[in-house]
Amino acid sequence: MKDFKIIELKRSVFENNDKEAARIREYLKKDKTFLLNLMSSPGSGKTTTLLRTLEELKDKYKIAVMEADVDSDVDAHTISKAGVKAIQLHTGGMCHLDAGMTEQGLKEISYSDYDLVILENVGNLICTAGFDTGASKNVMILSVPEGGDKPLKYPLMFSISDVLIINKMDVIEHFDFDLEKVKEFALERNPNIKIFPISAKTGEGVAAWCEWLSNETDKWIE
Amino acid sequence: MKDFKIIELKRSVFENNDKEAARIREYLKKDKTFLLNLMSSPGSGKTTTLLRTLEELKDKYKIAVMEADVDSDVDAHTISKAGVKAIQLHTGGMCHLDAGMTEQGLKEISYSDYDLVILENVGNLICTAGFDTGASKNVMILSVPEGGDKPLKYPLMFSISDVLIINKMDVIEHFDFDLEKVKEFALERNPNIKIFPISAKTGEGVAAWCEWLSNETDKWIE
Q: Which of B126, B155, B174 lies closest to A174 in CB terms?
A: B174
Residues of B in contact with A202 (CB under 8 A): none
Residue A124 has phi, psi (to 5 degrees) of -175, 130
Q: What is the DSSP string of A104-162?
A: HHHHHTTGGG-SEEEEE--S-SSTGGGS----SEEEEEEEGGG-TTHHHH-HHHHHH-S
Minimal Cβ distance to B171: which of A152, A153, A171: A171
The ipTM, to two decimals, is 0.89
To which H or E segment does residue A82 belong? none
Is B169 part of any domain? no
Neighboring chain A residues of B77 at a CB cutoff of 8 Å: none
- The CA distance from B193 to B158, in Å, is 8
The one-letter code for the residue type at B90 is: H
Q: Is residue B188 part of a domain?
A: no
Is there a contact between B175 and A171 if contact means CB atoms under 8 Å apart?
Answer: yes
The CATH number covering residue A212 comes to 3.40.50.300
Q: Cα–Cα–Cα angle for B26, B76, B109, nearest 5°?
A: 35
Q: Which of A24, A155, A29, A27 is nearest to A98 (CA)?
A: A24
| Chain B residue closest in CA terms to A45 | B146
d(CA B194, CA B203): 19
pLDDT confidence of residue A9: 87
In a domain, B8, yes or no: no
A124: which chain B residues are within 8 Å (Cβ-Cβ)? 95, 124-127
Nearest Cβ partner for B145 among A74, A143, A156:
A143
Domain count for chain A = 1
Helix ranges restricted to H, chain A: 17-30, 46-57, 74-81, 99-108, 150-153, 155-160, 179-189, 206-221
* Dist. CA B42–CA A143, nearest whole Å: 10
pLDDT at A14: 75
pLDDT tens figures, A136-193: 999 999 999 999 999 999 999 999 999 999 999 999 999 999 999 999 999 999 999 9
Residue A24 falls inside a structural domain: yes
- Is A1 inside a domain boundary? no
Interface test with A, best of B77, B97, B120, B124 (most A CBs within 10 A): B124
Q: Are B56 and B63 in contact (CB under 8 A)?
A: no
Q: How far apart, in whole angstroms, are the C-alpha atoms of residue A165 and residue B208?
A: 37
Residues A156 and A185: beta-carbon distance below 8 Å: no
Instruction: Tell me if A157 is assigned to some domain.
Output: no
Per-residue pLDDT tens listing for chain A (222 residues): 567 888 888 877 777 999 999 999 999 999 999 999 999 999 999 999 999 999 999 999 999 999 999 888 888 999 999 989 999 999 988 899 999 999 999 999 999 999 999 999 999 999 999 999 999 999 999 999 999 999 999 999 999 999 999 999 999 999 999 999 999 999 999 999 999 999 999 999 999 999 999 999 999 999
Output the pTM of the full model: 0.93
Residue of A95, A158, A169 to mutate when probing chain B, most B C-beta within 10 A = A95
Residue A33 lies in a domain: yes
Is there a contact between B142 and B169 (Cβ–Cβ < 8 Å)? no
pLDDT at residue number B135: 98
How far CA A135 is from CA of A21, A102, A220, B189, in Å, comes to 8, 9, 11, 34
A176: left (phi over 0), alpha (psi -120 to 50) or beta: beta
Asked if residue A179 belongs to a domain, the reply is: no
Q: Which of B44, B145, B154 sits opposite A70 (nearest CB)?
A: B154
Cβ <8 Å between B69 and A153 = yes
pLDDT in the model for residue B1: 52
* Torsion from C-alpha of A54, A57, A58, A62, nearest 10 degrees: -110
**What is the domain range of residue A124?**
17-141+203-221
**Per-residue confidence of chain B (222 residues) as pLDDT tens digits?**
577 888 888 877 777 999 999 999 999 999 999 999 999 999 999 999 999 999 999 999 999 999 999 888 888 999 999 989 999 999 988 899 999 999 999 999 999 999 999 999 999 999 999 999 999 999 999 999 999 999 999 999 999 999 999 999 999 999 999 999 999 999 999 999 999 999 999 999 999 999 999 999 999 999
pLDDT computed for residue A1 by the predictor: 52
B147: closest chain A residue by CA: A43
